[in-house]
């Protein structure tokens, strides 16, 4: 078996390989306020439209010669397996497999770990066993510092477990606390390029803003309305490129900062509370 160079040293380095999942079994499940509102409204979309929009999303990676690997969706047929972000977090030393908080998503980490091991990706020998830690709450601020959100989906004990595991590799982990209505950290903080990010100032605590300022980050500060629409939930591709989606009101602000913005149609999924960042798991970034 070939052993891959599975590593991420930042949230903004040049992306070279990514793990995606097909929306084959996608369905609405009640794991956030946005998803619950969708269920209450009885709204559902055609599978053909979901496949078409996901194909537009995939085509951006093909266009940029970013290698795509696929998580297996069999035999579990999990409805949100396509949101590959949340099963864990990649690190400079390999993938740390996380743990889901809600029953509806438990099992995705098993399928993802199985897929990674079959592909020869490097997976850390220890994984999260206390509380919950989901990938949508995690970002590398630099090679040494990982932040983990503590809102709706990751718990404080999950943060403590990650801190203990990653300390063995010389990494530091900090918790960022916010109200559960904001769901994941990636709906409220979106790194775009080196030391540049969008942040929902109505959600994240002042100490996080202070941490970012101290590390030299430039922040595009936006109001809370953007935190519930997946418009902050974008993926930095490196080399001043960002993967967003068509109709994102923040696209012009990103372009104004000199960024090349790719905007496939993806609003079926953002309406479920699952955005571009949610739908992608970096296997390898340069730098």
The 10s digit of each residue's pLDDT in 192-222 is: 999 999 999 999 999 999 999 999 999 999 9
Q: Which class for 256: exposed (0-12), middle (13-18), buried (19 or more C-beta within 10 A)?
A: exposed
Residue of 260 and 78 predicted with greater confidence: 260
- Report pLDDT for 42: 55
Overall average pLDDT of the 234-250 stretch: 98
- Report pLDDT for 30: 63
What is the value of pTM for the model shown? 0.94
Overall average pLDDT of the 91-108 stretch: 95
Overall average pLDDT of the 269-273 stretch: 85
Domains and CATH numbers, the chain: 14-286 (3.75.10.10)
- Report pLDDT for 38: 54
- Report pLDDT for 27: 82
Task: Please enumerate in sequence order all residues whose Cβ is within 8 A of that of 65, keeping only pairs 6 or more positions apart, or say none.
Answer: none
Asked if pLDDT for residue 57 goes beyond 90, the answer is yes
CA–CA distance, 207 with 243 (Å, rounded to integer): 28
Residue pLDDT, tens place only, 214-240: 999 999 999 999 998 999 999 999 999
Residue pLDDT, tens place only, 134-187: 999 999 999 999 999 999 999 999 999 999 999 999 999 999 999 999 999 999
Average pLDDT over the chain reads 93
pLDDT category at 79 given cuts 50, 70, 90 is: confident
Asked if pLDDT for residue 131 goes beyond 80, the answer is yes
Structure tokens of 250?
């923040």
Least confident of 15-24, 38-47, 136-145, 162-171: 38-47
Neighbours of 271 (CB within 10 A): 17
pLDDT category at 33 given cuts 50, 70, 90 is: low
Task: Please enumerate in sequence order all residues whose Cβ is within 8 A of that of 261, keeping only pairs 6 or more positions apart, or say none.
Answer: 241, 242, 244, 251, 254, 255
pLDDT category at 41 given cuts 50, 70, 90 is: low
Q: What is the 3-state secondary structure (H, E, C) of 65-103?
A: CCEEEECCCCCCCCCCCCCHHHHEEEECCEEEECECCCH
Instruction: Specify the residue for token string 């990653």.
Output: 166
Residue of 217 and 80 predicted with greater confidence: 217
- Report pLDDT for 43: 58
């Amino acid at each position: 078996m070939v052993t891959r160079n599975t590593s991420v040293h930042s949230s903004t380095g040049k992306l070279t390989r990514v793990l995606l999942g097909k929306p084959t079994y996608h369905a609405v499940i009640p794991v956030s306020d946005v998803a619950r509102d969708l269920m209450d409204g009885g709204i559902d979309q055609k599978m053909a439209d979901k496949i078409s929009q996901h194909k537009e999303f995939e085509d951006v990676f093909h266009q940029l010669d970013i290698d795509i690997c696929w998580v297996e969706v069999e035999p579990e047929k999990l409805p949100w397996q396509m949101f590959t972000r949340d099963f864990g977090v990649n690190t400079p030393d390999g993938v740390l497999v996380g743990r889901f908080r809600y029953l509806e998503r438990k099992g995705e980490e098993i399928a993802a770990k199985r897929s990674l091991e079959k592909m020869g990706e490097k997976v850390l020998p220890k994984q999260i066993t206390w509380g919950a830690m989901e990938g949508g709450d995690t970002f590398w601020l630099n090679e040494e510092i990982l932040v983990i959100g503590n809102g709706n989906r990751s718990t404080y004990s999950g943060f403590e477990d990650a801190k203990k595991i990653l300390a063995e590799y010389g990494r530091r982990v900090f918790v960022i606390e916010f109200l559960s209505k904001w769901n994941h950290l990636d709906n409220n903080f979106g790194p775009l390029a080196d030391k540049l990010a969008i942040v929902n100032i109505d959600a994240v605590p002042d100490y996080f803003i202070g941490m970012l300022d101290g590390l030299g980050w430039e922040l595009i500060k936006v109001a809370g309305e953007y935190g519930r629409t997946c418009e902050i939930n974008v993926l930095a591709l490196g080399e001043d490129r960002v993967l967003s989606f068509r109709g994102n009101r923040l696209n012009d602000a990103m372009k104004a900062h000199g960024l090349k913005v790719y905007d496939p149609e993806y609003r079926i999924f953002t309406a479920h509370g699952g955005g571009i960042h949610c739908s992608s798991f970096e296997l390898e970034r340069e730098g």
